[in-house]
Structure 1
Amino acid sequence: MRPAVDVIIYHNPGCGTSRNTLAMIRNAGIEPHIVHYLQNPPTRLLLRQLIQRANLSVRDLLREKGTPYAELGLGDAALGDDDLLDAMMAHPILINRPVVVTPKGVRLCRPSEHVLDLLPPQQGAFVKEDGERVIDGRGHRAAEG
């Protein structure tokens, strides 16, 4: 029996990458704490801590696609971290996802396979929603190419 592993995923169920990441966490035999961050965004302090623990810049966690990024002028290089955090707090859709927290660290899991570095071994085969085989039947990463 595996020891319990505490995992948190900041999840958007409307995002395929987020759904695939969640499925790989479950394929490792873990039922994570799921934070639907669009409805329950992290506090400003927690968001800053997640960014630091993931070794990202605030801008690295800023999502452009499908967000008000352009309308808010967030591409302006003169905007500082506080300005970007203000925008993320006002519009949580600007927070890129999924962010996963485990005892091994914090990571923005784009692509979804990044989560594998934070988890115990997979318990069986895994195929992404788009049909891409990621894990073979023995729980190992599928051969590339």
Structure 2
Amino acid sequence: MKATIWHNPGCGTSRNTLALLHEAGADVTVIEYLKTPPTAAKLAQLYADAGITPQQGLRVKGTDAVERGLPEADDASVLAAMVAAPKLIERPLVETAKGVRLCRPKERVLEIL
């Protein structure tokens, strides 16, 4: 099975999710989204496929998202902020042929393997 993970190697949950993917024998494409951020269109597609809103994919912890009013902002504003400052993207996002999940907790990845 092929899988793509939008990964932050500095995040324990992201590392553990990647390990689960490898343990499951997935052919994994790793995208370090802090270095190579997805486009707003790709983020919108990932969130739609995951059944969540951009606001639900917003990383609040350790960011200025609340101060910027992003949890209450419209989708386009949240997506634009994430593209401009990828640290605002909650991680890890995993995409397979079975769907997309924001893998918090890491075991959520099992739903799409």
Instruction: Give the TM-score taking structure 1 as reference length.
Output: 0.74
Structure having the higher helix fraction is: 2
> Distance between the aligned counterparts of 1:99 and 1:17, measured in 2?
11
Q: Percent identity?
A: 50
Amino acid at match of 2:87: I
> Distance between the aligned counterparts of 2:101 and 2:89, measured in 1?
13
> Distance between the aligned counterparts of 1:29 and 1:83, measured in 2?
37
Counterpart position of 2:51: 55
Higher Cα Rg: structure 1 or 2? Answer: 1
Runs of 4+ residues deviating >4 angstroms? none
Counterpart position of 2:107: 113
> Distance between the aligned counterparts of 1:52 and 1:101, measured in 2?
12
Amino acid at match of 2:53: S
Number of matched pairs: 113
Q: What is the correspondence of 1:1-145 to structure 2 with a 5 Å cutoff?
A: 5-75=1-71, 77=72, 79-119=73-113
- Kindly provide the CA deviation profile for residues 14-46 of structure 1, in whole angstroms up to 9, marking residues without a partner as x: 101000000000001124000000000111111
Mark the runs of 5 or more structure 1 residues left unpaired by the alignment.
120-145
Amino acid at match of 2:45: Q
Mark the runs of 5 or more structure 2 residues left unpaired by the alignment.
none
